[in-house]
Structure 1
């Protein structure tokens, strides 16, 4: 898959050599409050990325590094995973942006991920979950027009379709 390019950022596929960057942001308390716990160090992240590259090659998952266009600095991650059915739905997650992000990186990275899922890969829907206490991200996705599909003690579950996304894109 080619890089996905926006106005100020681009998404490139994660590589094994990105393990240190990914691990560093996943363990950073500024960014990990709403993430699942990290077990292990950089070696564990490298092992996870090796397994991920097998899933990527099988068209089962795509994990992107978000980079600034002006200097190619890695500023975050976003992932398309949990592919359901024959292109019925993909999961959107592993979304982290560092303080080095551009002003529009959040909007651009999610838009590029939706474009990848809907236009490049041909999915008919996207599903995502957001921790209930992550009110900024809930508000962000609601502005995109996501539809709440349920909740549990920890998360709110949402769905996005190409028709809804195209109204906001």
Structure 2
């Protein structure tokens, strides 16, 4: 895959050298709610994942890309998931590591690059995103990027003994 380059970041395919970053990110319990994870991953399992990360989106129905600074520092991950070429849609997921990299435009630029790729290259008609109702930063980000709130999934996520709502967003390429 070509590098998808923006003004401050670029997106690239995962590399074997991303193992340590992936290990730290996937085993961070503070993002498990977003990723749907409930148990840690071993380096062995993640190494196997990276060995298969080159597989085609049409085969595995997912595309995970590293979000990198122009200085080649990995800042986060962005995904297309539940890829459905027949109905021309996919979900978008993003995680930016550490608070130091958040609220600096990294997420917005990464999602914008992915939107352009999904609509222009993959010929998708729509993208969707699931955002926790209490995640004000992500709610604002998806609205700012032209996603429309189309639903609320009541009591969708159970975390720390509390049920939380999840907001469903869509962006339709007209």
TM-score of Structure 1 vs Structure 2, range by shorter chain: 0.7 to 0.9
Shift of 1:85: 4.0
Shift of 1:118: 0.5
- Segments of structure 2 that go 5 or more residues without pairing to the other structure are 157-165
The residue that corresponds to 1:6 in the other structure is 6
> Contact 2:26–2:41 at 8 Å: present in 1 too?
no
For residues 21-80 of structure 1, the C-alpha deviation after alignment (integer angstroms, 9 at most, x for no partner) is 1121232356555332243222222223334433447373221000001x1111110011
The residue that corresponds to 1:98 in the other structure is 97
For residues 89-147 of structure 1, the C-alpha deviation after alignment (integer angstroms, 9 at most, x for no partner) is 01111x11123538221211010010111111110100111122222111211122212
Indicate yes or no: 2:159 matched with 1:158. no
> Contact 1:52–1:61 at 8 Å: present in 2 too?
no
Shift of 1:161: 1.6
> Contact 2:15–2:50 at 8 Å: present in 1 too?
yes
Q: 1:34-53, aligned counterparts within 5 Å? A: 34-37=34-37, 38-53=39-54
More strand by share: 2
Helix, strand or coil: the match of 2:55? helix
2: CA distance between counterparts of 1:68 and 1:91?
24
CA RMSD in angstroms comes to 2.3
TM-score in terms of structure 2 length? 0.80
- Segments of structure 1 that go 5 or more residues without pairing to the other structure are 164-169
Indicate yes or no: 2:129 matched with 1:131. no
Helix, strand or coil: the match of 1:64? strand
Helix, strand or coil: the match of 1:54? coil
Q: 1:55-66, aligned counterparts within 5 Å? A: 55-56=56-57, 58=59, 60-66=61-67
> Contact 2:108–2:145 at 8 Å: present in 1 too?
no
2: CA distance between counterparts of 1:135 and 1:13?
29
> Contact 1:11–1:65 at 8 Å: present in 2 too?
yes
Query: Would you say how many aligned residue pairs link Structure 1 and Structure 2?
Result: 161
